[in-house]
Amino acid sequence: MGLADALGSFASGLRRGPNQSRKDGEDGTDLLVIGIDFGTTSSGVGWATAADIKREHINIITNWPGNKRKENKVPTEIFYEHGKTSWGFEAGKDCDPVRWFKLLLLKEEDLDPEIRSSEFVLRARQQLRDEGKTVVDVVADYLRCLWAHTIDAITRARGKAVVDVSRFHVVITVPAIWKGYARQTMREAAKKAGILEKRVAVGETCLDLVAEPEAAALSTLSEPVRKLIRDEVYLICDCGGGTVDLITYKIRETSPLALEEAVAFQRKVKKCLGRRWDRLSKLDINELMDNHWENGPKQKFSLDHDASYVVKLPSAAFSSRSVRNDTRCDPPIKNGRMVFTKDHVKDIFDEAIIEVDKLVDGQIAGAKRKGLQVTGIILVGGLGSIPYLYEHLRDRYRDSKISIFQPGGERPGFLQGQASQPERVAKGAVPVKVASTIARASYGVIYQVPCMPVFHRKDERTWDDLEHGYVCKTPMIWLLEKGSDVSTTQPTSCPLCHILKKDSGGTFAIDIYQCEEYPLPLRKNASVKRLVSISCKIATPLEEVPELFNRLGQRFRKLDFDLDMVPSGASVEFAVWAGGKKLGSSEVQIQYE
């Protein structure tokens, strides 16, 4: 996904976090929005002040330590040696940095089997063990380096005074398949990296995690060249370095995919070289991949051209000039070079594109089942910018009246069209919004009822002092059902209550459970898993909470509160209201399983 997507989807900057509200008189003129596209293989940063937003301008960082060329992205790699940390381009091609560590934020059971067993992920896990670091440590170390360079770049561009007085709104993109615990871990890493440290500026730094395909969709669909027609349905195919996310408007579903085209190229060369591959150093392999794949056919390959691609093999692969030819290989080695024809490169890409076809077909079929006709497929992200994928999908859907769009380059598309209405920027208005989203699971709570021996088993009975009798704590109330269409502007709000004891100090906890099966069980069973525990502390004095009495005349207080829920990708965002007030981040602690 592009930087413009990461920053652009929230570049008005004036979208408020779940626990923040704007004070009267704040007009957003002191706001500095920083978008971080934290990718599996490469990352990037864009930033904009309120004035930049009004001018439809996003600043993309292109100068990186250890690299003389201007690049929109920096490798998501980090290297530890003798207590020193190198990152990005600084890690160098002659070392073995930690790569693909972003994927380790997910539990193994939530990783696609292909990714779980891939060489990159297995190697990253081993390197973390060798360094004695957790994945949060490594992500925080990388983000700390990235953040320090970002602040330095903004300071050099606008001056220290501007940075010091600006309120930061930070947006980090995350895969749509990430569940709540992975998002929470990402927040922990960002905090550990110093991104949320207290600053001179008034107001806390606001951090938003936005689903990658949603950001790509908002940015792309808002381009002035895109003439949207009511009830049209677009499929966004966000093809990144490690995953593919698809989201269909109005279907709004996502699917993961490991992109193995780089691995396929390396496997092809390794097979041809045989034992000669073992003679190559890390530097040789890294240069081979960068020069002859990432910056070669991967970016240029097109079926409309019959160009061949020459891969110059490292001299270390050959012991003498007499063995620089090998016609047994496919492609053959001639004078220390391999010539990849169009068909060779096509075969490498097709390993990934076959899977893309399955995902796209599934999304289109899902739209049809809901009476919707996909009218356009928009390609974004690393692989999405490759001509071959565009040509492949164009030809595949030529007779289906589905248009294929492939935006060119990085551009702040989401901001365009707002300059003529600067007042909308100050108010947080945006040209395209995600009005609703689909719940990917059912969410509910356990409630307590008096025990009835006819209906409740012995193992379900629990003595309750306040009730002064046996109660059952297994019945479920389902607050939000899987497949429900939920408004993002008007969250699903559920009235709940909690019994506060004298020594509670105004604190209470809510356990939220999830289930992906249907029909939904009436009682907690093996299919019902605890998703999150939400600990709350109310500011309302305990004596102001309504007082009730049980059958023995004992006093207790019943707190009525509301729980708001908004699905976000494979996760769900929660907010708690009590006494007519939304509890802030210091009053609510959320712990995912």
Q: Could you give the percent of the chain with pLDDT greater than 70?
A: 76
| Same domain assignment for residues 462 and 339 | no
Q: Model pTM?
A: 0.66
| Same domain assignment for residues 514 and 390 | no
Integer-rounded Cα radius of gyration of the chain: 27
- Residues 17 and 207: their CA atoms lie apart, in Å, by 7
332: which residues sit within 8 A by CB, 6+ positions away? 325, 326, 338, 339
| Same domain assignment for residues 364 and 506 | no
| Same domain assignment for residues 514 and 380 | no
From the list 236, 170, 239, the residue with the least C-alpha distance to 206 is 170
| Same domain assignment for residues 27 and 174 | yes
Sign of the torsion formed by the C-alpha atoms of 163, 166, 167 and 173: negative
Looking at residue 8, its pLDDT comes to: 46
Please give the residue range of the domain that contains residue 323.
224-406
Q: Residue 193 — very low, low, confident or very high, per pLDDT cuts 50/70/90?
A: very high
| Same domain assignment for residues 66 and 213 | yes
Please give the torsion angle defined by the CA atoms of residues 458, 460, 461 and 465, in that order, rounded to the nearest 10 degrees. Answer: 160
| Same domain assignment for residues 195 and 234 | no
Q: What is the pLDDT of residues 359-390, one digit of tens each?
A: 888 888 877 887 778 888 877 666 667 788 88
User: Residue 552: is it exposed, middle or buried by C-beta count within 10 angstroms (0-12/13-18/19+)?
Assistant: exposed
Q: Are 49 and 34 in contact (CB under 8 A)?
A: no
Identify residue 240 by its one-letter amino acid code. G
| Same domain assignment for residues 195 and 252 | no
Element of type H or E holding 145: helix 135-158
Query: Among the residues of 166-296, which ranges form H helices?
Result: 180-192, 212-221, 261-273, 282-289
CATH no. for residue 427? 3.30.420.40
From the list 286, 272, 281, the residue with the least C-alpha distance to 336 is 272
Q: Are 193 and 145 in contact (CB under 8 A)?
A: no
Q: What is the pLDDT of residues 8-65, one digit of tens each?
A: 444 433 333 333 333 333 456 788 889 898 988 888 898 988 888 777 678 889 999 9
**Residue 172 vs residue 303, higher pLDDT:** 172
- Residues 55 and 60: their CA atoms lie apart, in Å, by 15
Looking at residue 465, its pLDDT comes to: 73
Identify residue 539 by its one-letter amino acid code. A
Number of domains in the chain: 3
Element of type H or E holding 248: strand 244-249
CATH no. for residue 471? 2.60.34
Q: Are 451 and 467 in contact (CB under 8 A)?
A: no
- Residues 565 and 241: their CA atoms lie apart, in Å, by 31
Which DSSP state fits 510?
A: E
| Same domain assignment for residues 295 and 387 | yes
| Same domain assignment for residues 74 and 184 | yes
Query: Among the residues of 309-374, which ranges form H helices?
Result: 342-369
Sign of the torsion formed by the C-alpha atoms of 538, 542, 544 and 550: positive
Looking at residue 19, its pLDDT comes to: 38
Strand partners, 171: 35, 208
| Same domain assignment for residues 385 and 424 | no
**Residue 273 vs residue 425, higher pLDDT:** 273
**Residue 441 vs residue 131, higher pLDDT:** 131
